[in-house]
Chains A and B, each alone.
Chain A
């Protein structure tokens, strides 16, 4: 059952159109991640769902009710802010209890709910401290605690881990995933970090310039990106793109001229006219050293030895950057040419408009 529906949602600030018609269904208990580059509108979209931004047009439906004109507290949501938004003059207990104090709940119930949240978040020993004395991770937990005590239908997270260092971020990521499993609540999470999106989400919504580029599970987005933007955004290092021209297609194969790199025949059922400009995409981790179904010769400018992986950075004859990611520590050296190959099934093809050709 759909718990949240966004119907042709739009947002403009004067002449600037930030959100350009978003349609989305979120099911109960789903962990949905909005991901995209800075300025794509993901935080604005979240704030619209929270009720912190007005809706220019379209509808937000939560639990079957249109909530466009309802204040945040009546929408059944709780939000965790990027800055944590903890009240510095209150103790951890009072921070977590704040929404309950607003509701004027009896002291006994406040204590019971705050203590329960503190137990879940391992904050029991910190309840009398001020936020200023806590570490980044603990502050984050307090912010989550303040959301939990309200027992909302939907949790909204606005880049909650972006202020933490890398080690703490991966730790908190796991804690959040465990929390999601334990509470079973619907969570909508905004991030610009695709690793967070890939590891946490049941469903990823990739946003680009105020529109949804693709919605799908992490692996769907990884293996079958709908367009060049998603292909380039999901995956690290990002996918290699090589420009080419279609020579011909017969409903089972498309032949593409890659210039100095030769011609590639890709299995595709779509027919496409000769002469059209296309883009071939191949992920760095799908390359193999030596010959493959399609091979090319590259000369790395830079080689990074990471122990578990080796990353090479080269430039193709047409000037495109070309990155290779290989397991272990193979013998590749800077300024020495070597062959790399890949399986045709691993290659992606995009038309002139940037849409995937299957």
Chain B
């Protein structure tokens, strides 16, 4: 055995655990789902190859296009709110105020509390009879009778977004805070020396220098929010009347609820294509940003 060959084998041996992990946990299910999407697999032990029939069905029959549009609206509203609230939170946490450390700790609970517990807490808050939101709004006179927020399409749609934002904001805030603190203090001092006020400095120095962080966080958040399942499932299970059914909920309902594995797999492949597109944009953006920094 030559030394080059043994070196190659040694390298492969070192890579083997990671390769096996990727192949069994990521690649195999992905390929299997893709193959399944061309079959009519259901509860029966055997199934037939149906070609593009599943894809034809989901785009021609039913409301899949509507689900896709709803998913994009839901995702973009949620990500947009997370970014805006996260940025405001980072600005506030970055301000030199007494008790700064305490406020930073207080941002963490939504992220630290197990997700299901947080969602059930919101589920109670949205309750019409016993919920805090309805109660408070009645006490302040904004509504005249109890409102079950999850019982109506419009309010349920916004309620699921609010819960998703509540869970997602802490990470965005902390990430933006870190990015903000990495901006050299000298830049702000130089601008202040030149007469730039707080808002002017934020607009012309902080925000432009935060662009890489905002872009990175937006794309990462877009990917995770697009696939957000737990929140909607626990709160509404996609209802009422499908008003909160996003692509991931729709896929679950088709594949697991209706036992149509083949058609469910086709819906999952469509999700996969969207997410891969986001990932592609993300990696392109990261590469462009790192090239920009090098210049």
Contact = CB atoms under 8 A, between A and B. Distances in A.
Interface stretch (B12-20, B93-101, B181-189): B181-189
B209 A73 contact: no
Interface string A135-153: 0000000000010001000
A52 B194 contact: no
Nearest to A129: B295
A88 interface: yes
A146 B194 CA distance: 9
Interface string A149-185: 0100000000000000000000000000000000000
A99 interface: yes
B200 A102 contact: yes
Interface stretch (A76-84, A231-239, A245-253, A325-333): A76-84
A50 B209 contact: no
A300 B219 CA distance: 68
Given A89-B209, A130-B295, A133-B295, A83 B184 contact: yes
B7 interface: no
Interface in B172-196: 184, 186-187, 189-196
A342 interface: no
A71 interface: yes
A83 to B, nearest CB: 5
A85 B189 contact: yes
Given A102-B200, A130-B295, A73 B195 contact: yes
B196 A85 contact: no
Interface residues of A, number: 26
A32 to B, nearest CB: 19
A88 B195 contact: no
A73 B195 CA distance: 5
A72 interface: yes
Contact of A98 (B184, B194, B211, B295): B194
Interface string A66-78: 0000011100011
A286 to B, nearest CB: 42
Given A52-B189, A133-B295, A85 B184 contact: yes
Contacts of A50: 193
A78 B193 contact: yes
Contact of A132 (B192, B200, B295): B295
A51 interface: yes
Given A85-B184, A85-B186, A71 B208 contact: no
Nearest to B205: A87
Contact of B190 (A71, A77, A79, A130): A79
A253 B205 CA distance: 66
A88 B211 CA distance: 12
Contacts of B187: 85, 87
Interface string B183-225: 0101101111111100010001100110100000000000000
B192 A72 contact: yes
Contacts, number: 59
Given A88-B209, A132-B295, A83 B186 contact: yes
A52 B192 CA distance: 9
The contact size tier of chain B is 10 to 19
Contacts of A78: 193-194
Interface in A51-108: 51-52, 71-73, 77-79, 81-83, 85, 87-89, 98-99, 101-103
A50 B192 CA distance: 10
A87 B203 CA distance: 13
B3 to A, nearest CB: 44
A73 B200 CA distance: 14
Given A52-B189, A79-B190, A88-B209, A102 B196 contact: yes
A89 B208 contact: yes
Interface string B271-295: 0000000000000000000000101
Contacts of B195: 71-73, 99, 102-103
Nearest to B208: A89
A78 B192 CA distance: 11
Contacts of A72: 192-195
Contact of A99 (B194, B205, B209): B194
Nearest to A81: B186
B223 to A, nearest CB: 26
B200 A79 contact: no
Contacts of A130: 295
A37 to B, nearest CB: 22
Of A52, A77, A82, A103, most B-chain CB atoms within 10 Å: A52
B189 A81 contact: yes
A82 B186 CA distance: 9
Of B191, B194, B204, B211, most A-chain CB atoms within 10 Å: B194
Interface in B138-188: 184, 186-187
A111 B293 CA distance: 28
Nearest to A72: B193
Interface of A: 50-52, 71-73, 77-79, 81-83, 85, 87-89, 98-99, 101-103, 130, 132-133, 146, 150
Given A72-B194, A98-B191, 14 more contacts: A50-B193, A51-B193, A52-B193, A73-B194, A73-B195, A83-B186, A85-B184, A87-B187, A87-B205, A98-B194, A99-B194, A103-B195, A130-B295, A146-B190
Counting from the closest, the 10 A-B pairs by CB-CB distance are A73-B195, A85-B190, A99-B194, A85-B186, A72-B193, A89-B208, A102-B195, A102-B196, A83-B186, A81-B186
